[in-house]
């Protein structure tokens, strides 16, 4: 079983977007559930539009991730946990304790990068109970056709968390697909470039 958590201390970073799209990619390779641990219930809303037949399965864990995980995670080949935007939330701590990989989406702005310090500490603390936990920053909403500035690369190098080689670009299809209850992998040619970066991120995450 693969267990991947999307964590962070900020809303709007891209946790839910990346959770739904990675889960949709994983679902082509085995049964996959997204455990929606954010009380906002965004993944549940996505599923309400998607309908019951579209993978992945979505499980509501906003009230008790620990119990639901212990009872039901073994049913799935892959589990993605979408967390609330707070390192202080119980769900974030539980997710870091049970996951193999923690992904921290972050927008390519210095303020957002500096804010990841809090999650770095939470990840270090989680490694006391989950020593194998891997953690990666994922640059999200990188402006299309531009690359990371020198300053951003320097700022990234200062952080303890390594960044994934794959960055996710800002693309309208990430928003449009959600409105249709789809992932970027279901959007045909419109979603091809986004689907390629999601697959690339997934292979980085699942290859130790
Ligand atoms: N790579 C992207 N390109 C375009 N829009 C994006 C991208 N990632 C996220 N968004 C949009 O940004 C907003 C916040 O993303 P979301 O996944 O809800 O963040 P979080 O779950 O961390 O709060 C949403 O409106 C989402 O559609
Ligand atoms: Mg979210």
Please report, for the chain, the start and end positions of each structural domain, with discontinuous segments joined by +: 2-201
Centre of ligand 2 to C-alpha 52, Å, is: 21
| Residue 1 scores a pLDDT above 90 | no
- What are the φ/ψ torsions at residue 59 (nearest 5 degrees)? -120, 130
Confidence of residue 164 (pLDDT cuts 50, 70, 90): very high
CA dist 4 and 25 (Å) reads 13
d(CA 17, CA 174): 7
Cβ(15) – ligand 1 distance below 6 Å: yes
- pLDDT surpasses 80 at 114: yes
| This prediction's pTM | 0.97
Answer yes or no: is pLDDT of 145 > 80.
no
Q: 81-105 burial by CB neighbour count: b if 16+ within 10 A, else e?
A: bbbbbbbebebbbbbbbbbbbbbbb
Q: Please tell me what DSSP assigns to residue 107.
A: -
pLDDT of residue 155: 86
Structure tokens at 88: 């202080």
Average pLDDT in the 119-147 region? 94
153 has pLDDT over 90: no
Distances (CA, A) of 186 to 33, 68, 177, 191: 17, 29, 8, 7
Binned at pLDDT 50, 70 and 90, residue 75 comes out as very high
**Confidence check: pLDDT of 70 > 90:** yes
- Say yes or no: CB of residue 69 within 6 Å of ligand 1: no
Per-residue pLDDT, 12: 96
Which of 174, 184, 195 most suits a substitution to test ligand 1, by most atoms within 8 Å of the C-beta?
174
At residue 152, the pLDDT reads 84
Mean pLDDT calculated for residue range 148-157: 85
**pLDDT value of position 47:** 96
CA atoms within 13 A on the CB side of 167: 19
190 Cα to the center of ligand 2, angstroms: 23
Would you give the end-to-end CA distance of the chain in angstroms? Answer: 14
So what's the architecture of 2-201 in CATH?
3-Layer(aba) Sandwich (3.40)
Longest pairwise C-alpha distance within the chain: 47
Locate 82 and state its tokens. 């979408």
Ligand 1 centre distance from Cα of residue 128 (Å): 31
Q: Is 205 in the pocket of ligand 1 (CB under 6 A)?
A: no
Give the mutation target among 8, 12, 46, 109 for probing the ligand 1 site: most ligand atoms within 8 A of CB: 12
Residue 172 to residue 30: CA distance in whole angstroms:
28
DSSP class of 185: G
């Amino acid at each position: 079983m693969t267990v991947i958590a999307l964590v962070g201390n900020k809303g709007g970073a891209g946790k839910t977007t990346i959770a739904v799209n990675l889960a949709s990619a994983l679902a082509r390779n085995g049964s996959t559930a997204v455990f929606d641990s954010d009380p906002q219930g965004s993944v549940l809303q996505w599923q309400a539009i998607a309908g019951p037949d579209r993978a992945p399965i979505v499980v509501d864990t906003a009230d008790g991730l620990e119990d639901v995980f212990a009872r039901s995670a073994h049913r799935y080949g892959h589990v993605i946990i979408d967390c609330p935007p707070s390192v202080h939330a119980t769900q974030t701590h539980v997710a870091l304790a049970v996951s193999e990989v923690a992904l921290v989406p972050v927008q390519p702005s210095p303020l957002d990068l500096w804010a990841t310090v809090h999650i770095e500490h939470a990840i270090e603390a989680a490694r006391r109970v989950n020593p194998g936990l891997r953690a990666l920053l994922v640059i999200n909403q990188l402006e299309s056709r531009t690359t990371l500035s020198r300053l951003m690369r320097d700022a990234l190098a200062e952080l303890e968390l390594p960044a994934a080689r794959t960055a996710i670009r800002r693309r309208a299809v990430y928003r449009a697909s959600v409105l249709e209850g789809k992932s970027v992998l279901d959007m045909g040619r419109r979603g091809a470039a986004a689907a390629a970066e999601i697959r690339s991120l997934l292979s980085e995450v699942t290859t130790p």
